[in-house]
Copies of this chain bind each other. A is one copy, B any other.
Amino acid sequence: MSYRTVFALSELEKNDFLPEPLWNQATKLLPQSTWVELPLQDDSQWEALLKKHNPEILVTAWRAKPLPKSLVGTDGFSLKYVCHLPGSVRKLIPREYIEKGVTVTNWGSSISPTISECALMLVLNALRQTNQWNFVMHHDKKWRGDVIESKSLFERRVGIHGFGAIAQSLIPLLKPFRTEVWSYSPSVPDNVFNELGVKRATSLDQLFSECGIIVELAPNTPKNYHVVTEKHLRSIPEPHVFVNVGRGAVVEEAALLRVAKEGKLRMGLDVFETEPLPENSELRGLRNVMLLPHLGGPTPDRRKDSGEYAVRNLERFLKKEPLGSLVTLDVYDRAT
């Protein structure tokens, strides 16, 4: 079985997501494929191009333009499957496509480990106060005094808010530190907790007040908007670590700032309610807060994990086997 396929990717995307031997594997699998190099000179060409190639399979990444609502369901438009290499599809694919039976997949959990790697790094940095030492060593041009407040991750209790794919892939990275892991995630069933040896917190309040190291990884659903409040942040016991590699809007950012400015909490933030973080954000300049510009993951060198995952999905599609990380209407509506 062969399908007309369009890889709509920039050269960088092609090289990052589908480096050899993946590109070779993908094109062998799909002999009727064309690579349309993005960006196009003129955005209006996008619709014309889709009509001209009329792909049955479309492989996309960040540089692809939104699929025109008008095309789906029209006579002769053959699109059956959009294999999106990154995560978020809402800006690319109108809901109508899924309603009318177009199959959509994304990178699913294939890239989770690199984001948990960032979480681990921010936890270690918060415990060691690396951000403060960056100020002291590079800007104050000083050394340490007698008392150092460095702390270790060994044998600590870690609380994870949210227990999806990223949180789950954090567990093996924490294991050699002999940590005790708790998590709060009402939607994840008990067996997942049990298999990974993670204790289920009965409430968000309990998670924050019992775990001295909190890793924020809850999805940004309407229910989770600002669900982490000043009370939660203030309740984190010693060693007072709060790391967010999930979504900024889950935390009440004004409260986060108030607590951060007091200096007791050791924070690592990769995500913010408003991104890019405004130039005048008062988080900038705080020695107890490490800031990253939302680069949790995947690091470009691991985009190939998503490419490998996509090639397996394309193969399954050809064999009419069930696909991984299907974006169903339900998933689509819950996505952020």
List A residues at the B interface (Cβ < 8 Å). Answer: 113-114, 117-118, 120-121, 124-125, 127-128, 130-131, 133-139, 141-144, 148-154, 172-173, 175-177, 239, 275-277, 279-280, 284-286, 290-295, 297-302
Given contacts A128-B118, A293-B133, contact A138 B285 (CB under 8 A): yes
Point out the residues of chain B lying under 8 angstroms from A286, CB to CB.
Answer: 138
Docked Cα-Cα span, A127 to B302, in Å, equals 13
Point out the residues of chain B lying under 8 angstroms from A280, CB to CB.
Answer: 141
| B154 and A114 contacting across the interface, CB-CB below 8 Å | yes
* Copies assembled: 2
**Nearest B residue (CB) for A170:** B176
**Nearest B residue (CB) for A148:** B295
Given contacts A117-B177, A176-B173, contact A136 B295 (CB under 8 A): no
Docked Cα-Cα span, A136 to B234, in Å, equals 28
A292 in complex: contacting residue of B121, B137, B276, CB < 8 Å: B137
Point out the residues of chain B lying under 8 angstroms from A125, CB to CB.
Answer: 121, 125, 130
What are the 9 closest A-B residue pairs judged by CB atoms, nearest first?
A143-B276, A137-B291, A121-B124, A144-B293, A150-B299, A152-B299, A172-B176, A134-B134, A152-B302
Given contacts A113-B154, A300-B148, contact A133 B176 (CB under 8 A): no
Task: Give, as a whole number of angstroms, the nearest-CB distance from A133 to chain B.
Answer: 5
